[in-house]
A = this chain, B = another copy of it.
């Protein structure tokens, strides 16, 4: 008897999340530029945990209440009232090891809280720096998967779709995929794979320009590099912690 495979879907925008059943599913929060890349990096570099909060006010309040680094970004820049931003390079080992990072970002933390409110089975975060860890986890679970793109203010973006495509490319044989968004994501990834940075530069003109105008070309390069911070951030009791195998 054929054993049926778990389902995999890709949701291209938080505004489409309500179309998908996430109960009992693993939801992968994807915010390539730069929230989920930074979360993986901070944890890889030894942060005790990352607490994602959905507003700057909560971020400041929590930062005062517990011993932590409070950080966040709005529209690609450090949010007013916060000292640290959303660049992975702000969180090297020497700075972040052993510390708690309270983080708010434009799109990524918002989607995470939406998935939580919808009763997701479990929530992890994905980015190229921890691509391998994400795929290993999905392959080990035999559960339905939703790849959730954080997008940009609900508008579909290329970079989150590329990461969804990268995951699909690696795990597809273990899932049943009847989802056009997933097919599109993998097709785009296969086109771009040879040089993700050049593809983004060419196709994603406006967002690329916004970030590179802030001097963040180095961030973009890093956020498109696979497996350089290969841990699995797993959400539990309000915190993202490294998942132990």
Q: Which residues of A contact B (CB under 8 A)?
A: 12-13, 15-16, 19, 152-158, 161, 178-181, 183-184, 187-188, 191, 203-207
When all copies of this chain in the complex are counted, the total is: 2
Cβ–Cβ contact A155 & B181, under 8 A: yes
Smallest Cβ distance from A137 to chain B, in angstroms? 26
A21 CB, nearest partner CB in chain B, Å: 13
Evaluate contact between B184 and A155: CB separation under 8 angstroms.
no
Known contacts being A15-B15, A16-B13, is A183 close to B155, with CB within 8 Å?
no
B-chain residues with CB within 8 Å of residue A205 when the two chains form the complex? 178
Tell me the smallest distance from the CB of A8 to a CB of chain B, in Å: 13
* Docked CA distance A19–B155 (Å): 7
Q: Would you give 19 A-B contacts (Cβ < 8 Å), ordered by A?
A: A15-B19, A16-B16, A16-B156, A19-B153, A19-B155, A155-B180, A156-B180, A156-B181, A156-B184, A158-B180, A158-B184, A161-B184, A178-B206, A180-B204, A180-B207, A183-B203, A184-B184, A187-B188, A188-B188
CA A82 to CA B157, docked complex, whole Å: 41
Query: Closest CB of chain B to A5's CB: distance in Å?
Result: 14
Residues of B within 8 A of A154 (CB): 16, 19
Closest to A10 in B: B156
Min CB distance A110 to B, Å, is 15
